[in-house]
Amino acid sequence: MALSDSDEDSGSGWVLIEVGMKMRIGLRRSEAPREMEDVLTDIPPPSRFFQEDLNIFTPPSPSLPRPFLMFSDPMADKILRPLTLIVAISPASLQIFHQVSKTLVGSLILPEILFSGNTIVPSAKDKSCYIYSLDDSDNPVVVVLVQCPIPAERSHVLSKVLLGAQIVPKRVLILDSIQSQNFRGKLSRDETLAYKLETLSQRDSSGDACGSSSLLKDIDYFPSGSVVDGLAAALLARCQILNIKGTLCVSWPEFGNSVVLLLKSLLLKDVLQDTNFDCGSGFGDESLRYGCMKDPVLESELYT
């Protein structure tokens, strides 16, 4: 490296430094060479790409396996054709159907739900989706107890499994809770409410002469502007697509003995008139027996 005085420009204050015989570097006399930036501590410059553009270069996450049905008797007919299919999602409805006489038919297997902590004999504390047939009902009734949280992104594929080629019901009743953030209006813990949503085929059949086909006659429709999401909405939409008579009943509050009594009276009056709801069936968990359900926020695994 050599300093070339002949190339000095006195007017501009630049000095040319010759590096070897190939390159020349221009430096001001008053400036020293800048120090190299610390890539670990210095704030990086803003990216010229949008977040969705950066995701193109990352490999997509592997898709989850599809849920499937597993029946208790593998040699039996794997097509269930009940008159009524009841899907219990809310804690109050789960408590009601834990107290009736029923027979285990099968289970809905979700690969992302771990079986650790589940008992060999089906229990109310298991994280699972058991399928039962009611023993006391004169008409064939199948009940699905959804005892684990279902992510919203899995609701659509799960509704296809429940209402697909293996379960073909005449009508469907879905029991879920009202979420306060999705309800247009004020909700008080001191009041007990229940509303319904119906498919077009169910609503058209409610006005005909055959009154036995209509469900939950004495409750109002869900207020306009309120929203239902998750598995309950996906199942009702699936009923609409398949032209199945479907009814969605949402209740408030989510926990408590008052909402349990309300749902039980609606079921006994309009749906399961011949079913014996034995309130003294003797569960080991007293909170389930008396309707004092556990709060999912306080009992979340995030705090264990």
Q: Which residues pair with 84 in a beta bridge?
A: 141, 171
Tokens of 243: 């032209």
3-state secondary structure of 243: coil
Tokens of 258: 């008052």
Map tokens 């064939």 to a residue. Answer: 140
Is residue 135 a contact partner of residue 102, using CB atoms and an 8 Å limit?
A: yes
Give 54 or 105, the one with higher predicted confidence.
105
Map tokens 């410059």 to a residue. Answer: 45
Is residue 253 a contact partner of residue 259, using CB atoms and an 8 Å limit?
A: yes
- Tens-place pLDDT, residues 7-41: 444 444 554 555 444 454 444 555 555 666 666 66
What sign does the CA torsion over 186, 189, 194, 197 have? Answer: positive
Chain center to CA of 94: 16
Q: Among candidates 166, 169, 170, 140, which has minimal Cα distance to 69? A: 166
Tokens of 47: 């990216």
Give 34 or 105, the one with higher predicted confidence.
105
- Tens-place pLDDT, residues 259-290: 999 999 999 888 888 777 764 443 334 444 43
Tell me how crowded residue 49 is: count the other CB atoms within 10 A of its CB.
11
Helix (H) or strand (E) segment spanning residue 263: helix 257-266
* Average pLDDT score over residue span 115-124: 78
User: What CA–CA distance (Å, rounded) separates 87 from 108?
Assistant: 12
Residue 290, phi then psi, degrees to nearest 5 = -105, 10
Tokens of 155: 């609701």
Give 217 or 221, the one with higher predicted confidence.
221
Ranges 132-136, 219-223, 226-230: which has the least confidence: 132-136
Model pLDDT, residue 36: 62
Is residue 87 a contact partner of residue 172, using CB atoms and an 8 Å limit?
A: yes
296 contacts: CB under 8 Å, gap ≥ 6: 149
Is residue 25 a contact partner of residue 19, using CB atoms and an 8 Å limit?
A: yes
Tokens of 92: 């109050």
User: What CA–CA distance (Å, rounded) separates 43 from 254?
Assistant: 48
- Tens-place pLDDT, residues 133-175: 987 666 789 999 999 989 888 999 999 999 988 899 999 999 9
pTM of the model: 0.71
Mean pLDDT computed over every residue of the chain: 77
Is residue 146 a contact partner of residue 155, using CB atoms and an 8 Å limit?
A: no
Between helix 155-162 and helix 230-242 the angle, nearest 10°, is: 50
